[in-house]
Each structure stands twice: as structure tokens, then as C-alpha cells.
């Protein structure tokens, strides 16, 4: 049952600025009442009338939960003095508030509301200060009015504040004329939100603004799938589905967008390609910087060979011819690409390249796209590696509010090293390679290492494949499997899969097993038994380090269902574990979770003994895995401990960035390595169930691969070479630059 209360806000106990959730003490008559609720802007001293209900909090006792409220004008001089002296208006403290009330008496409320400039009549308030106070009072009233207006269209407080700060009082005109501007101007407002607002306002579905915004939105969606551009027909077809408008009505808008430089239209053969301008120029500038780094660094061949032989003798390793060639190319080229599958000696070659440059007295930086990959690089080379973001000194706050990502290392402040080696290049998208190249000066050697047969990056582009495909740079591909690697069936079978050859499923292996099951529920039971009982002692790891990799998100063996089941059995509910509902799911203390989008502004710290911070930084990235160690309901915060002891705090509003990670898609596992992987295979879409995906999944395991499911599906995946087409064109931009040079 709804009840009403009225009183003055005495003081605020807690406020979450992200979502407006506030805990405060209300003076009602002579009684104090603890109130909770969501408020767009609220200050001590304000008189409010609210409706809601009394609740009992298990920790904090009796509270009044406010569902709706209205700020009232203070009703008497005492109330006005309390309001003015509360700090609600900057520049007025209790003493000055008392003088204002003494001066104007019963007229104080009216003068503050209608004639605030008269405050200059009070001793201690100049005309300038009176104007500032008047502006604040007007701003507060305007903002409150704007928030109430925006809430009618379902806009949250946090988003409403962004809109108001961007447009001020002109927001009413923006919303009435072209609400699609919100999608372009304000982070957090996508086309769909703008479209919902437009529909409520009554803007027609064939509005020019709507069609243009929808076309840009379609391109942005394609970027989310990894594409740099879309062929014209595909763009129009997709936009038609989204907008419900026929393609012929959209044709002219493409030309308008091109004139406004929001898109770039390129013709390749008979195909017209439509790029979002940002992505066209990202590829073009990346191609230019790659070409600039591609310089010869003349070295005496005899000296190089002697140096290689000396290092071989020193470490007791004899390189094969392709590995020697890789070291030669690295020594003599400004830009060099090393590629090869598992067991082909990439790590040995990298180590020899590092030793070669060390012997020359050169400084070397090692990096990889993810924390996991960087950690593995450190372990295999014995030299410290870091994430590319850390190498570039990520600063989470952009140069402008809301612009997000900013690297301290760039054209103006380049990396001061002689050699940079980047591993797991297949994971690097167009944004990251562009940022890296911007910080590398001509003369610095850049060595890119990766397996071109892995899945492409989660972000847009197909960087490694395109660079190799351009044939403009020195590339060495290692394809010989070394004898020690042939002892691992993971390596041998991975290469068979990649070559499209049949794989024996007779379970005579020590590290590659296939358990035949034809029912999804039975497969789930087998997965649980493997994680809980069988695999931990076999691979000498914790259940936490055993990863389920599945091709799909949906379905009986999809990520969503598997995570729910695995959570229940591997981290069961308990009175001692706090929980938080997110979307349609649940996060529980102790859960294994994954960050599912790049957050360049999220702060983290490494805690030493007694929880004292010993290191800190910003940025948690798509694919980072950790464990929930605390859920604080009062502060509305959740803390995750990521690998390498990094602790990051999430507000409840940010929890859509986290997902359970007992099972993850194979795509999300890129660049990671696990003690053991379990891969359920039964059936699925033809496009997904392909060789490339299976190869990537198998190569994620260090000690053991266990496939559970249908042998037919497994063999069909090996035979299926079809991959989801990724529209990228870095190779063409590189070739164009080469032609210009000629």
C-alpha cells in the first residue's frame, strides 16, 4: 500500500551519481526517517513530498522506499534558511543564509524564486555573486523540469543528465525536430533508443533523419560483427529489415551521407562498398604507417650468420632453415611478420630474435593483445611482456569528456625502444593496430607474430590476414612440426584439422579425448563430471582453470544454458554468498565471470599483503576473466578479481559488461590458453560449425582437450571450410599505396 510523506532533507548518507540511487535522512516534524530511492538531483535542505512504502532492510533496519516525489518550495522562513544554508547553492553557507532571511523575512521565498538579483542588497553578496546564485537557482529548476520531461520518454536519469548537459534548454527543440541527433552526439544513446523516442514524439518512419540515422546504425552494427564496410546491396537489405522502409527510398540518402563525409563509397570491380568514414580512414592510415615502417635495415649477411650461430651455441639449440630465415629478416627489416601454427617453433624463434637484438645492445618491448596472452609470452620468453594497451600507456579518460580511450604514447610521444615484438596478432583489430603504429617511429623494428588460421579479432578488421595477403611485407611462415611437439596429439590433431585431414577418435591419446554422446542433457552431465572429478587431478589444475568452449550462445549446449547449469553445480547458492540479478540472469559471489566489452575507463588495482594497493591502472578488456569476490548492496558495487591479482569495482549499472564464464564461446577464447578445455559438439548452424572454429578451440588447450558429443559433427566441421565472410580491405589500401609509389 502506497503512503505519503513530507519533510526536509537533513543530510545525504550515500549517493550513486551513475544511476541516482540515494540514501538520505528526512526530517518529518520532529522525527528522522531514513529514505531510499532514485533521484535526478537532490540537495540537503529541500522540502519534498513523496509517495512509497515502508520496508525492512536486513542490515539497515526500517526505511522508506520512495517511488515518486515532488520538490516543493520551502513554506516558511525557517525552511528557506535551512535550504539556503544546506550547501544546495554554492557560495551560500549557514551564516549568509541567516542574513538573507533576516533581510527579506517573509518575502525570502518569493525573492529567491522570482527576483534573485536582489540578493545583492544583503551584506557580503556582490552583484556578481547575486547573478551567480540566480543562475544556479534557474539551472536547478530548469534541469529538474528537463528531467521530468525526459522521463516521460523512458530516458534514465544518467542518460537524461548527459542529454541536458549537452543541449541545455535547446533539448526540447532537438527532440521535437530530430531526436536521431542523440544517437550521434551522446554516448549511450543508440539508434534504437532514439527511434523509440522519435516514435513517442510522433516522427514518421520514412523521415529523412530516421533513414540516414538507420543507415549509419546498420554500418555500426556491421562493425560490431567485425566488418569494416558492407557491400551496397547488403547494407540496403539490412537497413530495410531494421527500418521497415524499401531500399529505393534509401538510395538518395547514401549520396547525402557521402557529401556530408559520414560515409565513404568505394568501387571495387563491380561491387560498391560503403564504409563508415572513420573506418575507411582507419584502414587507410594504418596502411600508410605500415608502408612507412617497411624499410630495410642493412646488415652484413656474414655478420648476421655468425651472430645467429653464436647464439645457437650459447643456448644449445639448432634452428631449422625457416627459423634462421626469420631471424635474418627480423635483423634486416623495419617490419617483419612471423606466422605459424602450434608446435612449429614460433616461441623458439621469438626467443632467438630477442637474444639476437639483446646481443646487439638494443632495447626490446614485448606485448600481446590480452593479459592472458601477455602472461604466457612472459613465461615462454623469460622477458616481461605486457598488454598492448599498457605498452601504449592507456589513459581511460579521453581528451574530451565522453571520448573514452586515449593513449599517452602516440605520434607526439612515441615508444622509445629499438624493437617491438607483438604476439597473438590474429586478435588485434584495426583500432588497436592503428594506435600501436601511431606510437612507432620509422627506424624502430616492429615484429608481428601470430597464427593466421586462428579466428579473426573480435573487433573490426582482419589485420594479420590482410597484411599477409597484401604481399607487401617480409613474411616467414613456419610449417614444420618439431619432434617434441609431435608427442602432443593436441598439436598433431590441430594441424590435421587445419589441413582438412581426418582425426582418429580412438582415445589412445594422453591429451586428446573424444567421448561419444548423442543427448544434450547427458553431455552436460559428462561436462560436470569432468570439471568436478576427472580433469583437475589429471591436469593438476583447479576446476576454475578448466574451460568449457562451445560454438554457440543459444541452444541446449549454448553458453547461456550451460552457464546457468554450471553455476548451480560449481558455485551453488548459499546464505553466505550474496547475489545480484542482472538482466535475466544472476551473479553470485565466487562466480567465474568474463568482461564482454572493452572498458577503457574502468580503474583497477593490484593488492599486496593486507589488501594494500601496490599497482594501479585503467582498462579492463573484452575477454578478461576473473572471479567475483564481493557484492556490496549498500554501495551498489561489485568487485571482481581478475588474473594477475587485479581488482576492479563495478557499479551495479555496469554489470551488463560482465557475463558468467564457466562456458564461453570459442570466439571469446581467442588468445587465451587453459590447462584443459572441454568442447561440447552436437549440432548447430553450418556457418558456425566450421574448421576454423574447431582449430581455434583445440589450440586453446595446454594439457588436455576433451570433446563430448557427435563424431559426425566433429568430422563435418573438419570438412566445412566455409567461414563467415568478414568485409575488410586493409590489403587493398596497402596495394593502392604501393601503386602510388611506383
Binding site: residue ranges? 343-347
In order, the DSSP letters of 62-86 are EEEEEEEEEEEPP-SHHHHHHHHTT
In order, the DSSP letters of 367-403 are EESSHHHHHHHHHHHSS-EEEHHHHTTEESS-SSTT-
> CB neighbours (10 Å) of residue 451?
22
Residue 322's H or E segment, with its range, is: helix 321-332
**What are the start-end ranges of the H helices in 152-276?**
157-167, 171-177, 181-185, 191-201, 208-224, 232-243, 247-259
Taking the C-alpha atoms of residue 517 and residue 522, their distance in angstroms, rounded to an integer, is 7
Sheet holding 637-642, edge to edge: 613-620, 599-607, 646-651, 637-642, 625-632, 592-595, 658-660
Q: Which grid coordinates are listed for 698?
A: 583445440
**What are the start-end ranges of the H helices in 3-107?**
77-84, 94-104
Query: Strands 701-709, 625-632: parallel, antiparallel or unpaired by DSSP?
Result: unpaired
Q: Map 398-410 to HEC letters.
A: CCCCCCCCEECCC
Longest dimension (CA), the chain: 98
Q: Please report the beta strands in 260-413, taking only residues with DSSP state E, as ranges in sequence order.
A: 263-268, 271-276, 335-340, 364-368, 385-387, 394-395, 406-407
CB–CB of 256/699 below 8 Å?
no
Look at residues 305, 333, 310 and name the one whose alpha carbon lies nearest to residue 321.
305
Look at residues 481, 445, 486 and name the one whose alpha carbon lies nearest to residue 340.
481
Which residues sit in the known binding site for ATP?
A: 343-347
* Dihedral over Cα of 633, 637, 640, 644: its sign: negative
Taking the C-alpha atoms of residue 374 and residue 355, their distance in angstroms, rounded to an integer, is 19
Taking the C-alpha atoms of residue 115 and residue 103, their distance in angstroms, rounded to an integer, is 14
| Residue 149 DSSP SS3 | helix
Q: Which grid coordinates are listed for 628?
A: 567475483
Taking the C-alpha atoms of residue 660 and residue 682, their distance in angstroms, rounded to an integer, is 22
In order, the DSSP letters of 462-531 are -HHHHHHHTT-S-EEEE-PPPHHHHT-HHHHHHHHHHHT-----SS--SSEEEEE---HHHHHHHHHHII
Query: Strands 21-28, 3-15: parallel, antiparallel or unpaired by DSSP?
Result: antiparallel
In sequence order, the 6+-apart residues with CB closer than 8 A to the CB of 386 are: 366, 367, 374
Q: What angle (nearest 5°) sits at the alpha carbon of residue 226, between those of residues 220 and 231? A: 70
In order, the DSSP letters of 533-554 are IIHHHHHT--GGGEEEEES-SS
Taking the C-alpha atoms of residue 727 and residue 724, their distance in angstroms, rounded to an integer, is 10
Taking the C-alpha atoms of residue 476 and residue 462, their distance in angstroms, rounded to an integer, is 19
> CB neighbours (10 Å) of residue 490?
23
Taking the C-alpha atoms of residue 630 and residue 580, their distance in angstroms, rounded to an integer, is 11
Bridge partners of 215, per DSSP, are none
Amino acid at each position: 500500500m502506497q503512503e505519503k510523506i513530507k519533510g526536509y532533507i537533513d543530510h545525504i548518507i550515500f549517493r550513486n551519481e551513475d544511476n541516482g540511487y540515494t540514501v538520505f535522512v528526512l526530517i518529518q516534524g520532529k522525527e528522522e526517517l531514513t529514505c531510499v530511492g532514485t533521484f535526478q538531483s537532490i540537495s540537503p535542505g529541500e522540502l519534498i513530498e513523496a509517495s512509497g512504502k515502508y520496508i525492512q532492510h536486513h542490515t539497515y533496519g526500517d526505511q522508506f522506499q520512495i517511488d515518486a516525489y515532488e520538490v516543493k518550495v520551502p513554506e516558511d522562513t525557517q525552511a528557506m534558511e535551512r535550504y539556503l544554508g544546506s550547501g544546495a547553492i554554492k557560495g551560500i553557507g549557514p551564516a549568509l543564509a541567516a542574513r538573507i532571511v533576516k533581510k527579506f523575512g517573509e518575502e525570502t521565498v518569493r525573492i529567491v524564486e522570482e527576483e534573485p538579483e536582489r540578493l545583492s542588497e544583503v551584506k557580503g553578496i556582490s552583484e556578481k555573486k547575486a547573478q551567480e546564485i540566480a543562475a544556479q537557482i534557474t539551472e536547478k529548476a530548469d534541469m529538474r523540469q528537463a528531467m521530468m520531461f525526459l522521463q516521460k520518454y523512458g530516458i534514465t536519469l544518467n542518460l537524461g543528465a548527459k542529454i541536458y548537459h549537452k543541449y541545455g534548454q535547446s533539448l526540447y527543440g532537438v527532440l521535437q525536430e530530430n531526436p536521431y541527433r542523440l544517437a550521434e552526439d551522446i554516448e549511450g544513446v543508440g539508434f534504437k533508443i532514439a527511434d523509440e523516442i522519435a516514435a513517442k514524439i510522433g516522427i514518421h518512419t520514412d523521415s529523412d533523419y530516421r533513414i540516414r540515422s538507420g543507415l549509419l546504425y546498420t554500418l555500426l552494427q556491421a562493425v560490431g560483427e567485425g566488418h569494416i564496410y558492407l557491400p551496397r546491396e547488403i547494407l540496403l537489405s539490412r537497413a530495410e529489415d531494421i527500418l521497415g522502409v524499401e531500399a529505393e527510398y534509401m538510395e538518395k540518402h547514401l549520396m547525402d551521407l557521402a557529401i556530408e563525409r559520414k560515409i565513404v563509397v568505394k568501387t571495387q570491380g563491380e561491387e560498391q562498398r560503403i564504409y563508415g568514414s572513420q573506418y575507411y580512414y582507419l584502414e587507410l592510415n594504418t596502411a600508410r604507417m605500415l608502408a612507412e615502417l617497411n624499410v630495410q635495415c642493412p646488415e652484413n649477411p656474414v655478420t648476421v650468420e655468425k651472430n645467429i650461430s653464436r647464439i645457437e651455441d650459447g643456448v644449445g639449440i639448432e634452428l631449422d632453415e625457416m627459423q634462421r630465415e626469420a631471424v635474418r629478416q627480423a635483423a634486416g627489416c623495419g617490419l617483419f611478420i612471423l606466422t605459424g601454427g602450434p608446435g612449429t617453433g614460433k616461441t623458439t624463434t621469438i626467443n632467438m630474435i630477442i637474444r639476437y637484438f639483446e646481443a646487439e645492445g638494443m632495447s626490446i618491448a614485448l606485448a600481446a593483445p590480452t593479459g592472458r596472452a601477455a602472461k604466457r609470452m612472459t613465461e615462454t620468453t623469460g622477458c616481461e611482456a605486457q598488454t598492448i594497451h599498457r605498452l601504449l600507456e592507456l589513459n581511460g579518460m579521453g581528451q574530451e569528456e565522453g571520448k573514452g580511450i586515449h593513449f599517452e604514447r602516440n605520434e607526439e610521444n612515441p615508444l622509445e625502444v629499438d624493437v617491438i615484438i607483438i604476439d597473438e596478432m590474429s586478435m588485434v583489430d584495426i583500432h588497436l593496430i592503428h594506435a600501436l603504429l601511431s606510437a612507432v617511429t620509422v627506424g624502430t623494428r616492429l615484429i608481428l607474430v601470430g597464427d593466421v588460421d586462428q579466428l579473426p579479432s573480435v573487433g573490426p578488421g582482419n589485420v594479420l590476414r590482410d597484411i599477409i595477403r597484401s604481399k607487401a611485407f617480409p613474411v616467414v611462415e613456419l610449417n614444420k612440426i618439431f619432434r617434441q611437439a609431435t608427442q602432443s596429439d593436441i598439436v598433431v590433431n590441430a594441424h590435421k584439422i587445419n589441413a582438412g585431414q581426418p582425426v582418429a577418435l580412438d582415445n589412445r591419446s594422453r591429451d586428446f579425448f573424444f567421448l561419444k554422446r548423442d543427448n544434450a542433457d547427458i553431455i552436460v552431465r559428462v561436462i560436470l563430471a569432468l570439471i568436478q572429478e576427472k580433469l583437475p587431478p589429471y591436469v593438476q589444475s583447479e576446476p576454475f582453470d578448466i574451460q568449457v568452449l562451445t560454438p554457440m550462445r543459444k541452444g541446449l549446449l549454448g553458453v547461456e544454458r550451460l552457464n546457468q547449469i554450471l553455476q548451480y553445480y560449481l558455485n551453488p547458492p548459499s546464505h553466505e554468498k550474496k547475489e545480484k540479478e542482472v538482466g535475466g540472469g544472476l551473479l553470485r559471489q565466487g562466480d567465474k565471470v568474463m568482461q564482454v566489452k572493452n572498458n577503457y575507463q574502468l580503474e583497477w588495482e593490484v593488492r599486496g599483503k593486507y589488501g594494500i594497493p601496490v599497482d594501479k591502472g585503467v582498462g579492463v578488456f573484452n575477454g578478461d576473466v576473473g572471479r567475483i569476490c564481493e557484492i556490496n548492496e549498500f554501495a551498489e558495487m561489485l568487485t571482481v578479481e581478475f588474473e594477475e591479482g587485479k581488482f576492479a569495482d563495478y557499479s551495479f549499472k555496469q554489470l551488463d559488461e560482465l557475463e558468467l564464464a564457466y562456458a564461453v564461446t570459442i570466439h571469446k577464447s581467442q588468445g587465451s590458453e587453459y590447462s584443459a578445455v572441454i568442447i561440447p559438439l552436437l549440432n548447430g548452424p553450418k556457418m558456425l560449425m566450421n574448421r576454423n572454429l574447431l582449430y581455434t578451440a583445440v589450440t586453446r588447450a595446454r594439457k588436455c582437450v576433451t570433446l563430448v558429443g557427435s563424431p559426425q559433427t566433429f568430422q563435418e566441421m573438419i570438412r566445412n571450410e566455409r567461414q563467415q565472410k568478414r568485409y575488410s580491405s586493409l590489403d587493398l589500401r596497402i596495394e593502392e599505396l604501393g601503386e602510388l609509389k611506383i
